[in-house]
A and B are shown apart, each in its own frame.
Chain A
Amino acid sequence: MTSSSLHHGYPSQANSGAITHGHEHEHDHGPAKGITRWLFTTNHKDIGTLYLWFSLIMFLLGGALIMLVRAELFKPGLQLMDPNFFNQLTTMHGLIMVFGAVMPAFVGLANWMIPLMIGAPDMALPRMNNWSFWILPFAFTILLSTLVLPGSAPNFGWTFYAPLSTTYGPKSTDFFIFSVHLMGMSSILGSINIIATILNLRAPGMTMMKMPIFVWTWLITAFLLIGVMPVLAGGVTMVLMDRHFGTTFFNAAGGGDPVLFQHIFWFFGHPEVYIMILPSFGIMSEIIPTFSRKKLFGYSSMVYATASIGILSFLVWAHHMFTTGMPVWGELFFMFATMLIAVPTGVKVFNWVATMFRGALSFEAPMLFAVAFLIMFTMGGFSGLMLSIVPADFQYHDTYFVVAHFHYVLVPGAIFGIIAAVYYWLPKWTGHMYSETLSKFHFWLSAIFLNVTFFPMHFLGLAGMPRRIPDYALQFADFNRIVSIGAFVFGASQFLFVYIVIKTIRGGKKATARVWEGSHGLEWTLPSPPPYHSFTTPPRID
């Protein structure tokens, strides 16, 4: 770095969006103009922004699909759609939310925040970063096109169990397979980049055990992604082979094994669950200390707990398959391993509570979402513990109890984590404060109607309603109506979030560099918004 590059990207220039003397140095310039800025960008902030917008669009789209589902389930009988379209909607909702909304949002946050948090100028592999984002719009165009092209879209659930997806799958299954391959590539490239950045670009003096917890959780998440995305790719390739190349991996009539598919899928699928929650744990570990004005309790135990969850996540996959008729010792192993995950997860929750205890708390929007996360994620953890008990799982499995469980960990867990992160760092990104009043409205609407939506699902499942049915027996009618109303209001209130974000980008009260009274860490030493190239000279950490 030349000394002149130090002048670049300081607040006045970044605010105006143009760096006047950038053309003097070809290696060090501000953003390009127009669409090319976004198409060819190698800047971690631009790519982070692209990921986050993509994720928000997918979140609204996946949400819109499930609104149709809830409209159909508003009362018994078929009124709006045929069962096949219903199955397409639930399938696409799952795929879009998992691969389109949650995962890209976390990668977006990683792109934006990791260089800022470790004192790096950018991500380690900026060109690959561009590619890993731009794969995604193509992958989802292919996947979503199946909804409008002739014939059925994928209709076998996001878990695409064989032989429903092989011998019995619609033609569009091949589109689905190709798009999953693309998403997997994008995730693997993104993870490589994150690992390379964290391991190589930390500021001098920032040892591993001094990294912010968000960086730690993402490092472990990235290893999980590299571990399991190839397994998913292998799984979909075997589905493709079974469909078109005469193999019978999953076809019992040809000596294959339909249960093998489930082992492969869940060997990917369970670590995937933690991929969708660990970065949220990291976000909580940033937000809760800030608004408690107190250091995170048990930093090193948080790191070890995250690593234990990461390792255990590879040993519990078959708890999704207790009813497939595994031998009893297999069921016992997976039950014990699953119960064991409650220990590090419990440690994390206790640490967060201990961080809040005897702090000086204030409840701005990020903290409200963090507290809601703590309470409702813990509830999802409890129902998860109940599900781990194999005999009880025989009753819970594939019912609305499971739907309630995983929405309690994913909506307050992953989605609230992302929303909390956006409110927390939006002033840093844009230089403007968001509207605290509007965001409180957004919070209370979301928190209340989330529970109206998902809490009655526990009752439905226990009372005997299976998942993935377009029509139901009359005793389930009352709760379904409440669930649908909750879902409509929850869904509608997310437009408030979109409005708040756009309003904040357009303007608002100027944010200071620290933004929050209790904030700590390198990202708060840079001005808000930070310069286009984050740390051109690495800061020293003592």
Chain B
Amino acid sequence: MLSIRLLIGLFAGLTSQMAWADFTCNMTRGVTEISQGIHTLHMTIFWICVAVGVVVFSVMFYAIIYHRKSRGAVAANFHESTVVEIIWTLIPFAILVGMAIPATQMLIKMDDTKTDSEITIKITGYQWRWEYEYLGEGLRFVSSLTTSQDQIHNRDIKGQHYLLEVDNPLVLPIGKKIRILTTANDVIHSWWVPALGIKKDAIPGFINEAWARIETPGTYRGQCAELCGVNHGYMPIVVEAKTPEEYQAWVESKKGKVRSGP
């Protein structure tokens, strides 16, 4: 009893002082057809697992509650049944086939990076920054973390986008199919933006592909997902999605800056 009371007290104490404003505990639906498709798959599989779990655990807890020796239960004698074994081999198999079909369709869709792609961005991972190159535009720049060392070492108040802010975000137009190529120049990195439903390893000597068609303008943040050395936790990704007109204007001004830059 004491331990239970302690536990409740501990939780009450914890939850009261927490800011639940930023509370998220599920995968983002994201802003692309792909990310939304992934989210639907994720939820479907989740609920299938919940359903299977409810059935299995109900039987188990029924036995735990009603078939106790202390309740006078006497053990039955059955210990095999080929029919039952075949049934509970086939049922999971059928459920799995049902899950594999939409997953396969989705994967094939994700794999088609080339059809109708309008813009190609080459992303190169370095220890510990990203380089973005707009192929055919002659535009290339490096994107690095801007969070100050003071914030990281607790000498300054942490900003809203602590560790998820960069100097040069990747700017992309909405409504266009963007082909993304990833590679790396030292170790393996992984370019991950949850809202786009893209996580692709950036591997030296390889070029990997992914694609996105962003539906809504906005700022989408992500991080390197593959351990890449000391500052693996400090190479965030920021994508700014703009309307095609704003995007075009941004490209022109950025080109000017890059040319006239130091």
Chain A residues engaging chain B, CB cutoff 8 angstroms: 76-79, 82-84, 87, 155-157, 161, 163-164, 167-168, 252-253, 256-259, 292-301, 323-325, 328, 331-332, 335-336, 339-340, 342-343, 346-347, 349-350, 353-363, 371, 374-375, 378-379, 382, 385-386, 389-392, 394-395, 397-399, 441, 444-445, 448, 458-459, 462-464, 466-475, 478-479, 481-482, 485
Q: How far is the CB of B34 from chain A (nearest CB, A)?
A: 8
Interface segment, one of B92-100, B130-138, B245-253: B92-100
Q: Which of B79, B151, B228, B234 contacts A77 (CB 8 A)?
A: B151
Asked if B232 and A469 sit within 8 Å, CB to CB, the answer is yes
Q: Is B32 an interface residue (CB 8 A)?
A: no
Q: Is B160 an interface residue (CB 8 A)?
A: yes
Chain A residues within an 8 Å CB radius of B142: none
In the complex, A331→B107 CA distance in Å? Answer: 9
Q: How far is the CB of A340 from chain B (nearest CB, A)?
A: 7
Asked if A462 and B19 sit within 8 Å, CB to CB, the answer is no
Q: Is B225 an interface residue (CB 8 A)?
A: yes
Q: How far is the CB of A357 from chain B (nearest CB, A)?
A: 5
Asked if B73 and A360 sit within 8 Å, CB to CB, the answer is yes
Interface segment, one of B42-50, B118-126, B168-176, B211-219: B42-50
Q: Which of B18, B74, B160, B223 contacts A466 (CB 8 A)?
A: B223
Q: How far is the CB of B81 from chain A (nearest CB, A)?
A: 8
Asked if A361 and B20 sit within 8 Å, CB to CB, the answer is no
Asked if B25 and A294 sit within 8 Å, CB to CB, the answer is no
In the complex, A141→B41 CA distance in Å? Answer: 47
Beyond A78-B154, A358-B75, A478-B18, is A164–B206 a contact (Cβ under 8 Å)? no
Q: Is B84 an interface residue (CB 8 A)?
A: yes
Q: How far is the CB of B25 from chain A (nearest CB, A)?
A: 4
Which of B18, B160, B225: most chain A CB closer than 10 A?
B225
Chain A residues within an 8 Å CB radius of B25: 458-459, 462-463, 479
Q: Which of A167, A256, A397 contacts B199 (CB 8 A)?
A: A397
Which residues of B39-87 are within 8 A (CB) of A? 41-42, 45-46, 49, 52-53, 56-57, 59-60, 62-64, 67-70, 73-81, 84-85
In the complex, A156→B229 CA distance in Å? Answer: 7
Asked if B152 and A78 sit within 8 Å, CB to CB, the answer is yes
Asked if B80 and A299 sit within 8 Å, CB to CB, the answer is yes
Asked if B80 and A300 sit within 8 Å, CB to CB, the answer is yes
What 10 pairs across the A-B complex have the smallest Cβ distances?
A252-B205, A469-B233, A325-B208, A459-B25, A382-B49, A295-B79, A358-B76, A475-B22, A398-B225, A360-B69
Which residues of B238-258 are within 8 A (CB) of A? none
Which of B60, B78, B152: most chain A CB closer than 10 A?
B60
In the complex, A469→B27 CA distance in Å? Answer: 19
Q: Is B14 an interface residue (CB 8 A)?
A: yes
In the complex, A173→B88 CA distance in Å? Answer: 47
Asked if B69 and A386 sit within 8 Å, CB to CB, the answer is no
Which of B35, B187, B208: most chain A CB closer than 10 A?
B187
Chain B residues within an 8 Å CB radius of A252: 203-206
Chain A residue, CB-CB nearest to B28 = A464
Beyond A83-B231, A84-B230, A252-B205, is A339–B100 a contact (Cβ under 8 Å)? yes
Chain A residues within an 8 Å CB radius of B42: 386, 389, 392, 395
Which of B35, B186, B201: most chain A CB closer than 10 A?
B201
Beyond A462-B25, A466-B223, A471-B163, is A164–B56 a contact (Cβ under 8 Å)? no
Q: Which of A168, A325, A371 contacts B186 (CB 8 A)?
A: A168
Asked if A346 and B188 sit within 8 Å, CB to CB, the answer is no
Q: Which of A294, A300, A343, A392 contacts B76 (CB 8 A)?
A: A294
Asked if A474 and B198 sit within 8 Å, CB to CB, the answer is no
Chain A residues within an 8 Å CB radius of B199: 323, 394-395, 397-398
Apart from A347-B89, A395-B38, A467-B225, what are 17 other A-B pairs with CB-CB below 8 Å? A83-B231, A83-B232, A84-B230, A163-B187, A168-B229, A294-B79, A339-B96, A359-B63, A359-B73, A389-B99, A395-B35, A395-B197, A463-B27, A466-B223, A467-B227, A471-B152, A472-B233
Q: Is B10 an interface residue (CB 8 A)?
A: yes
Chain A residue, CB-CB nearest to B84 = A354
In the complex, A448→B197 CA distance in Å? Answer: 34
Chain A residues within an 8 Å CB radius of B230: 82-84, 87, 155
Asked if B103 and A335 sit within 8 Å, CB to CB, the answer is yes
Chain A residues within an 8 Å CB radius of B76: 294, 358-359
Asked if A394 and B197 sit within 8 Å, CB to CB, the answer is yes
Chain B residues within an 8 Å CB radius of A342: 92, 96
Q: Is B139 an interface residue (CB 8 A)?
A: no
Beyond A398-B190, A448-B7, A468-B232, is A353–B63 a contact (Cβ under 8 Å)? yes
Beyond A77-B152, A361-B63, is A485–B103 a contact (Cβ under 8 Å)? no
Q: Is B5 an interface residue (CB 8 A)?
A: no
For this complex, 8 residue pairs linking A to B, each with C-beta atoms less than 8 Å apart, are: A77-B151, A253-B204, A323-B199, A332-B104, A339-B96, A390-B107, A463-B28, A474-B158
Asked if A343 and B93 sit within 8 Å, CB to CB, the answer is yes
Beyond A252-B204, A325-B203, is A478–B20 a contact (Cβ under 8 Å)? yes
Q: How far is the CB of A323 from chain B (nearest CB, A)?
A: 5
Asked if B46 and A386 sit within 8 Å, CB to CB, the answer is yes
Which residues of B141-170 are within 8 A (CB) of A? 151-154, 158, 160-164
Asked if B92 and A361 sit within 8 Å, CB to CB, the answer is no
Beyond A84-B230, A339-B100, A478-B18, is A466–B200 a contact (Cβ under 8 Å)? no
Asked if A164 and B73 sit within 8 Å, CB to CB, the answer is no
Chain B residues within an 8 Å CB radius of A473: 161-164
In the complex, A448→B23 CA distance in Å? Answer: 23
Beyond A323-B190, A466-B192, A467-B227, is A77–B75 a contact (Cβ under 8 Å)? no
Asked if A301 and B85 sit within 8 Å, CB to CB, the answer is yes
Asked if B68 and A399 sit within 8 Å, CB to CB, the answer is no
Q: Which of B57, B88, B200 contacts A323 (CB 8 A)?
A: B200
Beyond A77-B151, A258-B203, A466-B224, is A392–B45 a contact (Cβ under 8 Å)? yes
Q: Is B260 an interface residue (CB 8 A)?
A: no
Chain A residues within an 8 Å CB radius of B20: 478
In the complex, A84→B229 CA distance in Å? Answer: 8
Q: How far is the CB of B210 from chain A (nearest CB, A)?
A: 9
In the complex, A473→B161 CA distance in Å? Answer: 7
Asked if B205 and A253 sit within 8 Å, CB to CB, the answer is yes
Q: How far is the CB of A334 from chain B (nearest CB, A)?
A: 11
